[in-house]
Chains A and B, each alone.
Chain A
């Protein structure tokens, strides 16, 4: 039996309409998992859905910042063997020009949604024994920081702290919780123009491996943490940064 196989596992992926979420859903399906994918954008979510391999997958369009949509999602969930919390936002914003709405929005999507989702699946007994909870965090806020990202950094480091206590609380049931701390990943978020092309090129060269990561490479780390290969791994933050934070 391949220890990296996800055959027989049912996995929920949030933020599955693009980038890391989409790549994660596709990779998990290729490794044999049954997927429940969710995101806000229905057309793009359906696009991901059509890219999944295998059968019996489910797509649920939902904006998880709204309690009723979160509740509806929870109601529809079968018993899960894994949750991958990918949904997140980033916007370059210096603190001196950050207002309360910006803070609330970033914390809500990046931090509160994963916390409430975890709380609710637990309270509604939707997790199988031995399930694996994964939080896509960041090097930003945990291993380093960038200008214009104070609230983002706060939201991401909060995830790592949350994950550690969850790992302890759920260990008696063999449920594991881990974070992945990626460096910069080439996604649409990055290519939207909010960072200049020249700056991006300069920043890429700061990585010892001379490039940003690919969504598929984060997906591979997710597969690893979901699989039985990491049955004894909990409470950890997996660094995936092309060597960026070595320097």
Chain B
């Protein structure tokens, strides 16, 4: 092997800042090559993908609307992932939050009090937390792997939502379309501006951002969560309550995903539809890692992810770029970002004396 990676003793401060830059340069370079190969003007394509969507206020507001649910889910996931609880179930928790909020909302359409909104938001958040609580219970009671249980619960949540939207929650006056009735005005999240669709969910996201930041960076519970994630034996040796921390991490994670779901139905959509989420819960997994599980980093990565969603759609419409190509571009960007992050902990080394290298490999085989 010509290129090998050596672990660094310390995290490289330099690469901490350079790795996103390096990734951006590599993505733009390789992306351009890809577009040239397909016969598109690379600069124009990149402009359509990355700049045009946010060149006016409406575009920015759409970006925020798209980034909100991703941000909420990713913040929650960051808490769970710090504890090395691999919750893959944000999607299901989001869907269940949307479902529970809608189930309540369609029954109080006539209610005029502003408590309606509070009740709906609470029910959505609690439902998301409860759905994650199932995973926590399976994990702490039966030691069931949370990756598997949370993924399986995603499918259950989706089918539950489809059943309700085709059945009990279907709008009786909706010409048999699989969607609920429109929510009452008191149940809708107020818009923040005249033009655009940015809604009061933005405040929840900011609140969640501050809360998660304080939890992870400042609080002793956050410290315990970190120790639990890094070193279970050390956590046991000082008496941190492992099960309680697992429950807590999953409940926060699920609650925020549920809030994201209920904000979608009571915000921009205004009713329950089968396509509440185009995979926000899954995108949030990538976003949480791109943001290095740091709340501030996650803000940037969720905006980037939302931009890629919107840019991809507009490139499809205006340039006839197939969706697969924009997805390829997204994948390329994520790949380069994660690959460059390796350089923070490892140092690349070019090994020209490859014969020597081959000999040591043989030694390792021999030592066994």
A binds B: no
Binding site for B on A (CB under 8 A): none
Binding site for A on B (CB under 8 A): none
